[in-house]
Amino acid sequence: MFKPKLFSLYKSFTREQILKDITAGIVVAIIALPLSIALAIASGATPEKGLHTAIIAGFLISFLGGSRVQIGGPTGAFVIIVFNIIQKHGFDGLLISTIMAGIFLIIFGFLKLGTFIRLIPYPITTGFTSGIAVVIFTTQVKDFLGLTIDKMPSGFISMWLAFGSNISTINYWAFIIAFVSLIVILFWPRITTKIPGSLVAIIMASIAVYLLNIPVETIGTKFGEISSSLPVPSLPVVTIERIEQLIMPSITIALLAGIESLLSAVVSDGMIGGSHRPNAELIAQGVANIASGFFGGLPATGAIARTAANVNNGGRTPLAGITHAIVLLIMLIALMPLAKFIPMCALAAILVFVAYNMSEWQAFRALLKAPKSDVTVLLITFFLTVFLDLVVAIEIGMIFAALLFMKRMADVTSERFTYTQDAVRDDDTELKYYLERKNTKLPKGIGIYEINGPFFFGVADKFLENALQYRKPVPVLIIRMRHVPAMDATGLHALRRLHTKCREVGTRMVLSGVNEQPMKTMTKAGFVDVIGAENVCTNFDAAVKRAIDIRMKDLEKTA
């Protein structure tokens, strides 16, 4: 059932905790202010769009979410896909994509897919996160160096070629301000963590540029006057054609929002010793993105860094996130006119720092020592994100991950004859011990075939090929399935085909040790009726007795 955390916790609020949450919310709002502006500009939108997103989506994510401490808003993970959507489909296309992504997230939540979204392979999330970091860094080189480039190309290689051919236009003032801003951001936490280094860097850079009249590009010279009011809700023009064009970007936004928000919730759970409600969180993310789209904002999700800052400053309930949104609204109204003085090079320094934090280079380097299949998925996702497109990277990364997973499952599933005619395999000590312990001698003409591992489409053909490789069929074939935890339709089909072949050559099939899931699958498909319920035995003892009984009756008939 959809029940936000706020509605479960409000009765337990204490005055002391409320004060802590309000304080944490104010601190997080100060952190979010420069980040929201920088992320909006990096995404190809105007500065205020980032604040609109943090205010509207941030409020709803905290008010309706399934986490106690989640802070929502624009994040670096969306920068590249948002930029590409705006370039290809315009800002209206982005709004449609954001609203559609919200609808998908709500569907994910009501279908209870919160747990499954977190099962996306780690190499894929690391690959595209690291790839996004590289692309974000690349997009900031122009402003960091103050290069004069009339029209920036969109491709990764093209951008670096443009930097190289225009390096003579470097603005050393911009480079100095960006470099000093980056140093401030890096080392300010050694002085205090109460005020974020990014805010200090922006204030210092803005004052220096204004008072000294330093010739660098600012938000004002690039965007003009910045609105300090919230936009009115409006619906972009929606057509079937635009929906078809934007369906994949919308799904990508929804998946990214789901992944990042749930990862953030898991991290924060570990910090506070709590537990979040994943499906409620997805629904809240969906509602927040729909609202953000209606108000002209950007896609939003749970922000890990801001959520961690909330926890570290004492936030323990959704009230902190709600306070963060309200404080940002006050800042928008009171301070947004001053944003025009912020140098673009200082914002570039903030985003270079964001890219570094997103890069996860230590995790990336550690994964390079993982099995080759994981390294393959990691590198494919990373390079496709950097050189092609995030949507394509996730699609192909998931396909490769699925194929490699199927191969891995096929490799761990084994099957073999352990007893043919009247000889036990030399390496099957378990069966030898069983026959000795039971003082049982199987009559000639009984074969024992064992399957170990999931019996699915990845191993069905190998099973069928090996099971039919013996030219001289046995009158009775016991198939041991004690180590088969699951079976899909293809595995069942292979079993049907083997049963048909057995009937053609006069072999009776007996199943042994069938587990719950395979049993349900066979019963529902009617295979138990075909093979005969008496030939599906709960354990090996019963299967051996059934096989001996069949064999002795056959021998009696031929006697």
Please spell the DSSP secondary structure of 360-422, one letter per residue.
Answer: -HHHHHHHTTS-HHHHHHHHHHHHHHHHT-HHHHHHHHHHHHHHHHHHHHHHH-EEEEEEETT
Per the structure, the complete domain to which residue 275 belongs is given by 5-144+158-360
Q: What's the mean pLDDT in 385-407?
A: 81
The verdict on 312 and 450 lying in the same domain is no
Q: What's the mean pLDDT in 269-282?
A: 89
Number of domains in the chain: 2
Strand (E) or helix (H) holding 487: none
Spatial distance between the Cα atoms of 346 and 206, rounded to a whole number of angstroms: 8
pLDDT, position 428: 57
pLDDT, position 305: 83
- Position 453 pLDDT exceeds 60: yes
151: in domain: no
pLDDT, position 527: 94
508 versus 227: the higher-pLDDT residue is 508
388: in domain: no
The verdict on 60 and 174 lying in the same domain is yes
pLDDT, position 106: 96
Q: Is the dihedral angle over the CA atoms 374, 377, 383, 389 positive or is it negative? A: negative
The verdict on 195 and 261 lying in the same domain is yes
385 versus 555: the higher-pLDDT residue is 385
The verdict on 311 and 417 lying in the same domain is no
pLDDT, position 472: 63
The verdict on 549 and 426 lying in the same domain is yes
368: in domain: no
Which CATH number does the domain housing residue 525 bear? Answer: 3.30.750.24
Last residue of a domain, one of 360, 380, 402: 360
Q: What's the mean pLDDT in 337-341?
A: 88
The verdict on 350 and 471 lying in the same domain is no
Strand (E) or helix (H) holding 81: helix 79-110
From residue 333, how far is each of 28, 49, 543 by CA, in Å? 18, 13, 78
The verdict on 326 and 437 lying in the same domain is no
108 versus 231: the higher-pLDDT residue is 108
pLDDT band at 193 (very low <50, low <70, confident <90, very high): confident
- pTM reported for the whole predicted model: 0.75
441: in domain: yes
The verdict on 422 and 339 lying in the same domain is no
The verdict on 438 and 293 lying in the same domain is no
Q: What's the mean pLDDT in 61-67?
A: 95
Closest CA to 52 of 88, 17, 14, 91: 91
249: in domain: yes
From residue 459, how far is each of 126, 481, 487, 525 by CA, in Å? 30, 14, 10, 20
- Position 205 pLDDT exceeds 90: yes
- Position 175 pLDDT exceeds 80: yes
- Position 113 pLDDT exceeds 80: yes
pLDDT digits (tens, 9 = 90+) for 223-271: 887 888 888 888 888 999 999 999 999 999 999 899 889 888 888 888 8
The verdict on 248 and 135 lying in the same domain is yes
User: Could you tell me what percent of the chain has a pLDDT over 70?
Assistant: 93
pLDDT, position 444: 78
Closest CA to 98 of 238, 275, 277: 238
Contacts of residue 508, Cβ cutoff 8 Å, sequence gap at least 6: 475, 476, 477, 502, 535, 550
Q: What is the dihedral of CA 408, 410, 411, 413, to 10 degrees?
A: 120
518: in domain: yes
Last residue of a domain, one of 299, 334, 360: 360
DSSP 5-43: HHHHHGGG--HHHHHHHHHHHHHHHHHHHHHHHHHHHHT
Contacts of residue 115, Cβ cutoff 8 Å, sequence gap at least 6: 278
Q: What are the tokens at 39?
A: 């992320």
pLDDT, position 556: 72
Answer for the pair 108, 278: CB distance below 8 angstroms, yes or no. no
The verdict on 289 and 417 lying in the same domain is no
Query: What's the mean pLDDT when you consider all of the chain?
Result: 87
Spatial distance between the Cα atoms of 137 and 133, rounded to a whole number of angstroms: 6
Q: What are the tokens at 204?
A: 């210092």
The verdict on 117 and 221 lying in the same domain is yes
404: in domain: no
492: in domain: yes
Last residue of a domain, one of 334, 360, 386: 360
